[in-house]
Amino acid sequence: MAELTEVKPEMLEGSWTLRVRNTVDRVLPMDHLLPHRQPYYVGSWVYVFGVITIAALVWVVVSGVVLSFMGPQWWHASSLGRFFNSLHFWSVQLFFIFMVLHLWGQYFMAGWRAGRAATWMIGVVIFAASILTAFTGYLSQQNFDSQFIAINAKDAMNSAGIGAFFNVLNFGQMYGLHVMLLPITVTFLVVVHIVMVRARGVVKPIGAEGGKAS
Amino acid sequence: MKAKKQVTQEEYYRGIRMVPYDLIKELTIALVGVGLLALILGAALSSPDVPPVTIASWAQSDPVDFVTTATNELQGGTISAGYGNPYNTNGSGQSWGPIAPVQWFGTRIPVDSANSFVIQPLKDASFGNTDLGKALNQWSSASSDQQTTWLKAYSDALGKATVTDGKVTVADGQYGPLPVMLNNLLGIAQAGGLDGLLLVNGRFYQTDYTQALLFMGDGGYLAGLAQNANLTGSQWGMMNETGTYPGQSWLWLYTMWYQVFPFTSSDGFLGLNAGNADLGIIIVMTVLTVALALVPFIPVLRDIPRWVPIHRLIWKEYYSAGKRTP
């Protein structure tokens, strides 16, 4: 059996793969992605809000996958389906409560300091995308709430010109967005947000960097 | 502008005491804890599921409102008939000065209320129904003035209509073919046929409820049920839902604007008023959302956390130690 031979370093010059791998190693080494130590001030209870928001999102996705697999009518006629819908519903409620607490916590900690503005901004985009995802969920319930929310909301959407492309009266469009495009968007942005947090580490307490909150 | 050198985590944390941390363990505990909480809430409190209103249930529960709405569709007097874009060109929609996004994309979802909700379903149902066929012929061959006269007389008479065996009866008068047409439409609706006709529209598979919802939105029945359930816009309806469930509470700020000046006033302020509240509130919320995203760059907003000592509670251990680099 032939032995593997080393590739000469000069032959790897210009390798896109190696360049990406080296960048990832530099920006986000495993020691930062899965840390085994943190600054002592990270022991504050406020840091819990971020991780429980992620935990709630996991349950939203898991229960949502079950509901979408069984189809939009299932939960109206099955007690098991109703249970999974309830799990989905309350996971969403918890997700928003935790996310808002996380947002306010980060605001009063000025979490955007020392080069972390983009992390804050992506967090706000996640908040907005989550609201849109939940909104399409309410429109996809196929019950009285969905009907009246659709009738009520169309005027706002139409007045902004959005209604021409985002028809809240079209169940198929809202359901497709709710189970596919928007959850993928939210999940992707959450992953980017977490990677940014892990790459830079958590910010120091206010005053530890010269007293400016900006 | 001088480019800042990227500080590594090791450099950033230099001199700060580090403590053991188990991310995977923390995430696992959070997953189990939050899962249990959601499970208990779901099992104990369930979730709202009030059955939807069908056109059949509307026509059975409130036949006069149904027939009145259908007559208004023929008169062009309903919300959808005079809406404007994206459904038709019969209204101008909301604007704020020169800003009128509703006009930008034209009629993208065409809806001809009189034809779509009344005439076409009646034509579909006239197969084998001689009386209805004759009534439709009489209607289509009549002049526009004649149609308007019949509609006016019938519409006035509906104000004193009675319901007998589910049918709408009005005082004798010159209504042309309208009583036959609209009682046939009522019968089709009560049997559930109109739900299907408005949905299918010549196709088989369908998931678009635009026509059925616009038609129901034109009537007073569904709006009355929504009023009773505290779901209308003036009742904080965009964030409410049926029962005592929390609803979309995260929309509280958006919903709040509908309850306050200038969006409750006909005169308004700077051109923003009740008449263009939807557009005005979308603009306000867009500005506020962008501002939230840009907080790190906005003086005062970015300084409040430094002025308000909540961070001293959050990092109590750090500040009580009175040391910057423990």
pLDDT for A86-138, tens place per residue?
Answer: 999 999 999 999 999 999 999 999 999 999 999 999 999 999 999 999 999 99
Please report the residues numbered 2 through 31 in chain A whose beta carbons come closer than 8 angstroms to any beta carbon of chain B.
none
B41, B94, B316: residue with CB nearest A90: B41
Instruction: Output Rg (C-alpha) for chain A, integer angstroms.
Output: 22
Contact A161 B289 (CB under 8 A): no
Q: Are A201 and B9 in contact (CB under 8 A)?
A: yes
| Res A213: pLDDT | 43
Letter string b/e over residues A66-94, b meaning 16 or more CB atoms within 10 A of that residue's CB:
bbbeeebebbeeeeebbbbbbbbbbbbbb
Name every chain A residue with its beta carbon within 8 A of the beta carbon of B208.
167, 169-173
**Nearest chain B Cα distance for residue A25, angstroms:** 13
Contact B47 A86 (CB under 8 A): yes
Assign A214 a pLDDT band (cuts: 50, 70, 90). Answer: very low
C-alpha span between B37 and B255 (Å, rounded) = 28
Cα–Cα distance list, B250 to A128, A179, B71, B266 (Å): 10, 20, 40, 28
**Nearest chain B Cα distance for residue A94, angstroms:** 8
B208, B238, B303: residue with CB nearest A171: B208
Residue B105: φ, ψ to 5°: -110, 5
Contact A142 B52 (CB under 8 A): yes
Within 10 Å of residue A168's Cβ, how many Cβ atoms?
A: 26
Which top CATH class is A47-200?
Answer: mainly alpha
Contact B101 A124 (CB under 8 A): no
Cα–Cα distance list, A27 to A16, A20, A21, A23, B301 (Å): 16, 10, 10, 6, 30
Q: Running DSSP on this structure, what letter comes out for residue B254?
A: H
| Res B286: pLDDT | 97
pTM of the model: 0.93
Given a cut of 70, the residues of chain B with pLDDT beneath it are 1-5, 322-326
